[in-house]
A and B are shown apart, each in its own frame.
Chain A
Amino acid sequence: MVKKATKQQFLEAYNQYGDAIFRYCFYKTSNREKALDLMQDTFVKTWEYIVAGKKIDNLKAFLYKSATNLIIDWFRKKKMLSLDELSESGFDPSFDRTDRMINQLDGEIALEAVNLIEPIYRDVIVMRYVEELSIKEIADILEEKENNISVRLNRGMKKLRQVLNEHEQPI
């Protein structure tokens, strides 16, 4: 059972954060359809959590955390499937920039610059500057100390500057 007010608040939260969660999922998966599915699953899981009577202190952070966990699960399944296929063809699935650069040819090329740096820096930059989350919120979502997030952000921006200078991105 839930209160009527809670139902309204939840639907308002979708209107407020739906696009942000979708963008976050899209940035992580580079697949629009998958991003829509993951975004919807995020809100469904959050609703199930609320209906179970459990308390959420910060709904925004909770949504990002749920989305992150769903994305990790998806990657794990995808990795298991693709590793099987790749191993048969003899491909080494190490960190490879090719796929990310190919995204530049897509209509939706907004995320290619940040995709050219390591994931550990990429994530915090997107969360801080694109999603406009605070350091505290990012730390909560990624379950890291705030100091670590600040350091990572700083290093990530330096690497991004390097990439942008190297590729002379016309953005």
Chain B
Amino acid sequence: MNNQFDQYLKRTRGVKMTPEEKEKTFNELKARVLVTPEGTPSFLQSHFSGYSFQFSGQKVAVFVVLAILILTTSTSFAAGGALPGDFLYPVKINVNEKVEGYIAEKQGAKQAFEVKVALNRLKEAEQLQTEGRLDEKSKEIITTNFEQHAANVQFEEGLTTSVVATSSLKTRFQAALENHRDVLKQLSNLSKKSDKPALSSLIMVVDNELKVGSSTVTTAAEGEIKVESVKGIDEKLNFDGGH
């Protein structure tokens, strides 16, 4: 029996993937791994990423303790890496970003701030998708917030000192949107069927912003040419002594 069993074991252990099958799966896993952002997960990401907002009697006590912590600036800092669905995500968007926006406005950099926040929403969507946590609810939060800030980029002239600077910022924003759209498409290709609708609708939102953006960049460019033409005429008149 030992001989029979040994032979049986030898044949059974020989069951394996073909090199092609193994490589195909490896490439698919590698693509998924490569789109995951690199860095060290924050303490909160590792310990609270699965925390839900449904409170039970036991969790209320935990919430009271955390509420005290939220009042400190260190918690506000910690909320910086939170994602939709995380406990401190409301702190991130309602406190951190509001304060940052106010300061940016005072410093004449409101539009750059709007670009940063809009792109942060897309990064959050990508992070959630790689963690398998992008659901309808988090997609709605991300989409609404992204659209709001993207609209501010496209239509708010802000306190930038020149039309040229605005146009440059918008052009860079467009380029970043294209990159994020490509990443989202790649994630969609790798995703399960059930995840595809949420990703598809987010990709459509980004596409819409790209279409809107291409028209406002053109408008800004035309404005830039117009402004420079006017300057040229003024200089000529001065050179000619006002004639």
Chain A interface residues (CB < 8 Å from chain B): 1-4, 7, 10-11, 14-15, 18-19, 22-23, 26-27, 36, 39-40, 43-45, 47-48, 51-55, 108, 110-111, 113-114, 126, 129-130, 160-161, 164-165, 169, 171
Interfacial residues, chain B to chain A (CB-CB below 8 A): 1, 4-5, 7-9, 11-17, 21-22, 25-26, 28-30, 32-34, 36-41, 45-47, 49-50, 81, 127, 130-133
Is the beta-carbon distance between A14 and B17 smaller than 8 angstroms?
Answer: no
Q: Is A52 a contact of B131 with CB atoms below 8 Å? A: yes
A111 vs B50: C-alpha distance in the bound complex, in angstroms? 40
Tell me which residues across on chain A come within 8 A of B21, comparing CB atoms.
36
Task: Give the A-B contact count at a CB cut-off of 8 A.
Answer: 115
Consensus secondary structure, chain B interface: helix
Cα A62 to Cα B129 in complex, Å, equals: 22
Q: How far is the CB of A159 from chain B (nearest CB, A)?
A: 12
A151 to B33, CA, bound (A): 41
Inside 8 A of B131's CB, which chain A residues have their CB? 48, 51-52
Enumerate chain A residues within 8 angstroms of B16, measured Cβ to Cβ.
19, 22-23
CB pair B9–A1 under 8 Å, yes or no, is no
- Chain B proximity of A164: nearest CB distance (Å): 5
Quick one: given A47-B32, A171-B11, are A52 and B49 in contact (CB under 8 Å)? yes
Q: Which of A1, A111, A114 is the most central at the interface, judged by chain B CB atoms within 10 Å of its CB? A: A1
Asked whether, in the complex, the Cβ of A130 is within 8 Å of the Cβ of B9, the reply is yes
A48 and B29 contact, Cβ closer than 8 Å, known pairs A2-B38, A22-B17, A53-B49: no
Task: Name the one of A26, A47, A108, A164 contacting B5, with C-beta atoms under 8 angstroms.
Answer: A164
- Return A166 CB to nearest CB of chain B, in Å: 12
B22 engages A1 (CB within 8 Å): no
Assess whether A110 is in contact with B14, with CB atoms less than 8 Å apart: yes
Question: Most B CB atoms within 10 A — which of A11, A47, A53, A169?
Answer: A53
Q: Which residues of A contact B17 (CB under 8 A)?
A: 18-19, 22, 36, 39
Q: What residues on B are CB-neighbors of A18 within 8 Å?
A: 17, 22, 25-26
A110 and B8: CB pair below 8 A? yes
Q: Which residues of A contact B14 (CB under 8 A)?
A: 110
Contacts of B26 in A (CB 8 A): 11, 14-15, 18
Known: A2-B38, A23-B13; 20 extra A-B contacts, CB below 8 A, are A1-B37, A10-B29, A11-B33, A14-B26, A22-B15, A22-B17, A26-B15, A39-B25, A43-B25, A47-B32, A47-B33, A47-B36, A51-B36, A52-B132, A53-B45, A54-B50, A129-B5, A164-B4, A165-B1, A169-B4
